[in-house]
C-alpha cells in the first residue's frame, strides 16, 4: 500500500498581513522527503515592505542559502508539486487567510486563492492537538510545572509549547523562519497521528480552539 504524503507549511508575514517567506515540507510516515523555502521578492524588496520582523536575510540571499522568487513563481512551484488533498498548518486559518490575501494583492485580483485545486482541504494541527496530547494529564501537569499557563490558568497552545512538550525540551525557542517552523510542526503532526484517533481537523480561530479546549478541560 502506498504511504500517504502530507504537506506541512508555515508562513512569515509582515504587519501589513502579506506573506514574505513561505516554507514547507512533504512528510511520509513521519520522515521529511522534500523541503522548500522561499522569500517573496515583491514583499521583501518592493513597495509592500514595511519592516523586517525577525531577521535580515540579505547575507543569506547573497550567499545563495535562500532563494528569492516572485510570489507567482512560488505559488506555481507549490501547486505543481503538491501531492494529495490534505494541506496541514499549525494555525491553518492564519496561514490560509494570509496566503489568499497575498495571492489577491500580488495578482491584482486575478487570482483569489493560493491553491489551484479547490478540492484541497486545509487541516489545522493545533485543533487536532487539543483533541489528543494537549488533553492528556501529563501535558496539563507539565504545563503547570513549566509555567506554560495563560491568565485563566489553562495551558498555552502554541507550536513552540507543543514542541517543547513532545520533545522534552522546555527551553526550546522557535526560530520563526518558515522552513524551520514547518519542520517542527511536521513533528507535532506526527505526534497527533500516532494517537490513531478520529479528530476534527477543521481550521478554527485561536479563540474558538481555546474556548472548546477550555470546556473539554473541565470534564
* Total-model pTM: 0.91
Residue 76 is predicted with a pLDDT of 96
**What pairs with residue 153 in β-bridges?**
none
Asked if 135 contacts 191 with a C-beta cutoff of 8 angstroms, the reply is no
**Helix H or strand E segment including 5:** strand 5-13
Strand order in the sheet with 86-89: 67-69, 31-40, 19-28, 5-13, 86-89, 121-124
DSSP 155: B
Other Cβ atoms within 10 Å of 89 Cβ, number? 27
Lowest mean pLDDT among 34-38, 80-84, 117-121: 117-121
Residue 140 is predicted with a pLDDT of 92
Tell me the pairing of strands 5-13 and 19-28: antiparallel
The percent of residues in the chain predicted with pLDDT above 70, rounded, is 92
Domain limits, the chain: 5-120, 126-217
Choose between 2 and 91: higher pLDDT: 91
Asked if 149 contacts 128 with a C-beta cutoff of 8 angstroms, the reply is no
**Cell digits of residue 76:** 506555481
**Cell digits of residue 209:** 480552539
Asked whether the predicted pLDDT for residue 121 surpasses 60, the reply is yes
CA-to-CA dists, residue 166 to 92, 139, 161, 169, angstroms = 20, 9, 9, 8
- The answer to whether domain 5-120 has CATH 3.30.420 is yes
3-state secondary structure of 34: strand
Q: Give the mean pLDDT of the chain.
A: 89
Asked whether the predicted pLDDT for residue 54 surpasses 50, the reply is no
Residue 48 is predicted with a pLDDT of 57
Amino acid at each position: 500500500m502506498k504511504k500517504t504524503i502530507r504537506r506541512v507549511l508555515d508562513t512569515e508575514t509582515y504587519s501589513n498581513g502579506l506573506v514574505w517567506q513561505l516554507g514547507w515540507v512533504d512528510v511520509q510516515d513521519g520522515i521529511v522527503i522534500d523541503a522548500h523555502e522561499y522569500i517573496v521578492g515583491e514583499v521583501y524588496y518592493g513597495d509592500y515592505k514595511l519592516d523586517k520582523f525577525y531577521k535580515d536575510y540579505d547575507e543569506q540571499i547573497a550567499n545563495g542559502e535562500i532563494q528569492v522568487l516572485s510570489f507567482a513563481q512560488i505559488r506555481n512551484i507549490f501547486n505543481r508539486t503538491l501531492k494529495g488533498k490534505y494541506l496541514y498548518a499549525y494555525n491553518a486559518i492564519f496561514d490560509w487567510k494570509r496566503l489568499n490575501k497575498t495571492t489577491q494583492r500580488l495578482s491584482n485580483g486575478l487570482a483569489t486563492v493560493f491553491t489551484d485545486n479547490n478540492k484541497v482541504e486545509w487541516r489545522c494541527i493545533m485543533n487536532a492537538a487539543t483533541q489528543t496530547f494537549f488533553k492528556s494529564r501529563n501535558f496539563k501537569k507539565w504545563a503547570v510545572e513549566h509555567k506554560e499557563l495563560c491568565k485563566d490558568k489553562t495551558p498555552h497552545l502554541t507550536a513552540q509549547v507543543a514542541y517543547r512538550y513532545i520533545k522534552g525540551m522546555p527551553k526550546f525557542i522557535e526560530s520563526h523562519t518558515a522552513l524551520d517552523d514547518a519542520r517542527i510542526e511536521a513533528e507535532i503532526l506526527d505526534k497527533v497521528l500516532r494517537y490513531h484517533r478520529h479528530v476534527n481537523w477543521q481550521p478554527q480561530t485561536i479563540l474558538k480552539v481555546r474556548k472548546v479546549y477550555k470546556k473539554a478541560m473541565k470534564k
